[in-house]
Amino acid sequence: MTFLKQHRYTLGLTAVFLLFVGVSWRAGQAPGRQMGESFLSFLGNMLRVLPCVFILIGLFDVWVKRATVEKHLGHGAGVVSYVWALLLAGTAVGGLHVAFPIAHALHTKGARLGVVLAYLAGAAICRVPMTLFEASYLGWKFTLVRFAVSLPLVVGTSALLGAWFERRDYALPTLDAPAGGR
Protein backbone atom coordinates (compact mmCIF):
# COMPACT_ATOMS: atom_id res chain seq x y z
CA MET A 1 0.00 0.00 0.00
CA THR A 2 1.44 3.33 -0.97
CA PHE A 3 1.98 6.18 1.48
CA LEU A 4 -0.55 8.43 -0.24
CA LYS A 5 -3.24 5.78 -0.21
CA GLN A 6 -2.60 4.88 3.41
CA HIS A 7 -2.63 8.50 4.66
CA ARG A 8 -5.11 10.11 2.28
CA TYR A 9 -7.49 11.21 5.06
CA THR A 10 -4.71 12.88 7.07
CA LEU A 11 -3.25 14.51 3.98
CA GLY A 12 -6.70 15.75 2.95
CA LEU A 13 -7.33 17.35 6.34
CA THR A 14 -3.88 18.92 6.27
CA ALA A 15 -4.55 20.37 2.82
CA VAL A 16 -7.91 21.79 3.96
CA PHE A 17 -6.27 23.35 7.02
CA LEU A 18 -3.45 24.89 4.99
CA LEU A 19 -5.91 26.18 2.40
CA PHE A 20 -8.08 27.74 5.13
CA VAL A 21 -5.11 29.41 6.80
CA GLY A 22 -3.75 30.61 3.46
CA VAL A 23 -7.07 32.09 2.35
CA SER A 24 -7.61 33.66 5.78
CA TRP A 25 -4.11 35.14 5.74
CA ARG A 26 -4.62 36.56 2.26
CA ALA A 27 -8.06 37.96 3.14
CA GLY A 28 -6.82 39.44 6.42
CA GLN A 29 -9.19 37.40 8.60
CA ALA A 30 -7.99 37.35 12.22
CA PRO A 31 -9.14 33.81 13.26
CA GLY A 32 -7.32 32.14 10.37
CA ARG A 33 -4.20 34.23 10.97
CA GLN A 34 -4.23 33.35 14.68
CA MET A 35 -4.63 29.67 13.86
CA GLY A 36 -1.69 29.83 11.47
CA GLU A 37 0.49 31.70 13.95
CA SER A 38 -0.41 29.24 16.73
CA PHE A 39 0.38 26.32 14.44
CA LEU A 40 3.76 27.78 13.48
CA SER A 41 4.59 28.52 17.12
CA PHE A 42 3.69 24.96 18.16
CA LEU A 43 5.62 23.52 15.22
CA GLY A 44 8.68 25.56 16.21
CA ASN A 45 8.48 24.31 19.78
CA MET A 46 8.15 20.73 18.59
CA LEU A 47 11.13 21.05 16.26
CA ARG A 48 13.23 22.42 19.13
CA VAL A 49 12.25 19.76 21.69
CA LEU A 50 11.64 16.50 19.82
CA PRO A 51 15.10 15.98 18.27
CA CYS A 52 16.63 16.15 21.76
CA VAL A 53 13.99 13.75 23.08
CA PHE A 54 14.66 11.25 20.31
CA ILE A 55 18.40 11.42 20.97
CA LEU A 56 17.78 10.77 24.67
CA ILE A 57 15.45 7.87 23.85
CA GLY A 58 18.12 6.44 21.55
CA LEU A 59 20.67 6.70 24.35
CA PHE A 60 18.18 5.11 26.76
CA ASP A 61 17.68 2.28 24.30
CA VAL A 62 21.42 1.65 24.05
CA TRP A 63 22.57 2.32 27.62
CA VAL A 64 19.75 0.89 29.75
CA LYS A 65 19.50 -2.87 29.74
CA ARG A 66 16.17 -4.58 29.29
CA ALA A 67 16.78 -6.57 32.48
CA THR A 68 17.04 -3.34 34.49
CA VAL A 69 13.71 -2.03 33.21
CA GLU A 70 12.05 -5.41 33.75
CA LYS A 71 13.43 -5.58 37.29
CA HIS A 72 12.11 -2.15 38.32
CA LEU A 73 9.06 -1.67 36.05
CA GLY A 74 8.19 -5.18 34.88
CA HIS A 75 5.82 -7.86 36.12
CA GLY A 76 7.88 -8.86 39.15
CA ALA A 77 8.39 -5.34 40.49
CA GLY A 78 5.08 -4.97 42.34
CA VAL A 79 3.67 -1.69 43.62
CA VAL A 80 7.11 -0.04 43.74
CA SER A 81 7.10 0.02 39.94
CA TYR A 82 4.26 2.55 40.04
CA VAL A 83 6.27 4.76 42.39
CA TRP A 84 9.21 4.63 39.96
CA ALA A 85 6.91 5.47 37.06
CA LEU A 86 5.45 8.49 38.87
CA LEU A 87 8.91 9.72 39.90
CA LEU A 88 10.11 9.40 36.31
CA ALA A 89 6.96 11.16 35.07
CA GLY A 90 7.49 13.99 37.54
CA THR A 91 10.80 14.83 35.92
CA ALA A 92 9.38 14.82 32.39
CA VAL A 93 9.69 18.05 30.48
CA GLY A 94 7.73 18.98 27.38
CA GLY A 95 4.28 17.54 27.94
CA LEU A 96 2.67 14.43 26.54
CA HIS A 97 4.19 14.76 23.07
CA VAL A 98 7.48 13.95 24.82
CA ALA A 99 5.99 11.40 27.23
CA PHE A 100 4.52 9.15 24.53
CA PRO A 101 7.86 8.22 22.89
CA ILE A 102 9.37 7.63 26.33
CA ALA A 103 6.42 5.44 27.31
CA HIS A 104 6.86 3.41 24.12
CA ALA A 105 10.57 2.97 24.86
CA LEU A 106 9.76 1.81 28.41
CA HIS A 107 7.21 -0.69 27.13
CA THR A 108 9.54 -2.13 24.51
CA LYS A 109 12.21 -2.54 27.22
CA GLY A 110 9.84 -4.67 29.32
CA ALA A 111 7.79 -2.32 31.51
CA ARG A 112 4.32 -3.72 32.02
CA LEU A 113 1.43 -1.89 30.43
CA GLY A 114 -0.10 -0.71 33.71
CA VAL A 115 3.15 0.98 34.70
CA VAL A 116 3.40 2.64 31.29
CA LEU A 117 -0.14 3.96 31.70
CA ALA A 118 0.77 5.27 35.17
CA TYR A 119 3.81 7.00 33.65
CA LEU A 120 1.64 8.68 31.00
CA ALA A 121 -0.97 9.81 33.51
CA GLY A 122 1.76 11.03 35.86
CA ALA A 123 3.41 12.96 33.05
CA ALA A 124 0.08 14.65 32.43
CA ILE A 125 -0.67 15.64 36.04
CA CYS A 126 2.43 15.73 38.23
CA ARG A 127 5.39 17.19 36.37
CA VAL A 128 7.60 19.29 38.65
CA PRO A 129 7.47 22.51 36.56
CA MET A 130 3.69 22.31 36.29
CA THR A 131 3.37 21.59 40.02
CA LEU A 132 5.47 24.63 40.96
CA PHE A 133 3.41 26.81 38.64
CA GLU A 134 0.18 25.46 40.13
CA ALA A 135 1.37 25.94 43.71
CA SER A 136 2.45 29.52 43.04
CA TYR A 137 -1.05 30.43 41.82
CA LEU A 138 -3.33 28.16 43.84
CA GLY A 139 -1.21 27.49 46.92
CA TRP A 140 0.59 24.45 48.30
CA LYS A 141 -2.47 23.25 50.21
CA PHE A 142 -4.48 22.91 46.99
CA THR A 143 -1.55 21.19 45.24
CA LEU A 144 -1.08 18.68 48.06
CA VAL A 145 -4.80 17.89 48.17
CA ARG A 146 -4.83 17.42 44.40
CA PHE A 147 -1.84 15.06 44.64
CA ALA A 148 -3.44 13.15 47.53
CA VAL A 149 -6.53 12.57 45.40
CA SER A 150 -4.92 12.20 41.96
CA LEU A 151 -2.00 9.86 42.60
CA PRO A 152 -3.98 6.97 44.15
CA LEU A 153 -6.51 7.28 41.31
CA VAL A 154 -3.71 7.23 38.73
CA VAL A 155 -2.09 4.15 40.24
CA GLY A 156 -5.39 2.35 40.74
CA THR A 157 -6.83 2.98 37.30
CA SER A 158 -3.49 2.27 35.60
CA ALA A 159 -3.16 -1.04 37.42
CA LEU A 160 -6.76 -2.00 36.57
CA LEU A 161 -6.47 -0.99 32.91
CA GLY A 162 -3.08 -2.69 32.58
CA ALA A 163 -4.44 -5.93 34.05
CA TRP A 164 -7.54 -5.72 31.86
CA PHE A 165 -5.46 -5.27 28.69
CA GLU A 166 -3.04 -8.04 29.67
CA ARG A 167 -5.90 -10.49 30.33
CA ARG A 168 -7.02 -9.84 26.75
CA ASP A 169 -3.46 -10.27 25.41
CA TYR A 170 -3.40 -6.72 24.10
CA ALA A 171 -0.23 -5.74 22.27
CA LEU A 172 0.73 -2.22 21.27
CA PRO A 173 0.63 -1.69 17.51
CA THR A 174 3.99 -1.86 15.79
CA LEU A 175 5.24 0.27 12.93
CA ASP A 176 5.39 -2.81 10.70
CA ALA A 177 1.66 -3.53 10.61
CA PRO A 178 -0.82 -0.70 10.05
CA ALA A 179 -3.51 -0.38 12.71
CA GLY A 180 -7.16 -0.94 11.91
CA GLY A 181 -6.52 -3.15 8.90
CA ARG A 182 -5.75 -0.26 6.53
pLDDT digits (tens, 9 = 90+) for 47-93: 888 888 889 888 988 898 999 999 999 888 888 999 999 999 988 87
Instruction: Look over the chain and give the mean of its residue pLDDT values, rounded to a whole number.
Output: 87
In this prediction, residue 182 carries a pLDDT of 40
Q: Which pLDDT score is estimated for 126?
A: 86
Q: What percent of the chain has pLDDT over 70?
A: 95
Q: Is the pLDDT of residue 122 over 70?
A: yes
- Interior/surface letters 168-180, b for 16+ CB within 10 angstroms, e for the rest: eeeeeeeeeeeee
**CA–CA distance, 105 with 92 (Å, rounded to integer):** 14
- Report pLDDT digits (tens) over 24-37: 888 888 888 898 89
pTM of the model: 0.76
Q: How far apart are CA 154 and CA 60, in angstroms?
A: 25
